[in-house]
Amino acid sequence: MSQLIYNPFDREMHPPYLSPEYKSTLLRAPSQPLVVVKQSLSELSGPVFGDTNVGPLDHDLTKNARRNGEPLGERIVVHGKVTDENGRPVPFTLIEIWQANAAGRYVHKVDQHDAPLDPNFLGAGRVLTDAEGNYKFYTIKPGAYPWGNHHNAWRPNHIHFSLFGPNITTRLVTQMYFPGDPLLQYDPIFLGVPPKGRDLLISTFDLDITEPAFALGYRFDFVLRGSKATPFETV
């Protein structure tokens, strides 16, 4: 059996490691050229997840932390498909998400933003793609929040995604944005992605997945590797 070799990612699609307008990259970007390591079995094999890794409510952020009532905010459904660079579905891979609540605050001790926490919303979940590479989350639309990168800096509404893919070369951490957000044009993280890749980070409104009188639907697909790969999060 021939060994599968993954193509390098497109530098015109993905953000550079150093993006001066995004100030924390000045501290953590590599100072020396990266060394390309020849692919071996360790790069071409990956984790195997089963049903025991994911709980029955892990995909539903409106329920997985509920204590005394419904979480506050606009309910949404986020769904899509994960494929490889050849368009084949990636089944049974783990997707994790984390996000701010509707007021723009994370459940994390570092986040001291003057906005309320929601006792019924943790802001984290996970799911396995099905046999056709499909996934679906129920959650609350996250709020914008100030982040101190520059004067009057606010992050657009976004959800963080982590995908493991079939092996280490397809590991992806990225962010999903929402269509029509006026803050996108001011956000150094989003603008750190080359123009060719920016639209791939914006979800699309999906009336077909919208649930009547309950939640608006958004579609966000992922491509792992290749010329149409979903851009990774600026690091």
Residue 113 annotated in active site: no
CA neighbor of 175 nearest in space, from 123, 234, 89, 225: 234
HSE of 235 in the Cβ direction (CA atoms, 13 Å)?
A: 8
pLDDT of residue 93: 93
Below-50 pLDDT ranges, the chain: 1-2
The pLDDT of residue 51 is 64
Contact 169, 47 (CB under 8 A): no
Q: Which of 155, 177, 218, 225 is catalytic?
A: 155
Residue 106 a catalytic site member: yes
Please tell me which residue in 14, 22, 59, 106 is annotated as part of the active site: 106
- Full set of structural domains in the chain with CATH: 73-224 (2.60.130.10)
Q: Which of 6, 160, 218, 225 is catalytic?
A: 160
Catalytic option among 6, 135, 138, 145: 145
| The pLDDT of residue 133 | 97
At which residue do the structure tokens 């590479």 appear? 133
Q: Confirm if 159 and 174 have CB atoms less than 8 A apart.
A: no
Nearest to 216 by CA among 165, 190, 180: 180
Write down the catalytic residue from 59, 105, 158, 225: 158
Is 66 marked active-site? no
Q: What is the pLDDT of residues 184-203, one digit of tens each?
A: 999 999 999 999 999 999 99
How far, in Å, CA of 206 to CA of 202, rounded? 13
Q: What is the pLDDT of residue 214?
A: 96
How much is the mean pLDDT over the chain? 90
CA distance 222 to 228: 9
How much is the pLDDT for 1? 36
DSSP class of residue 68 equals S
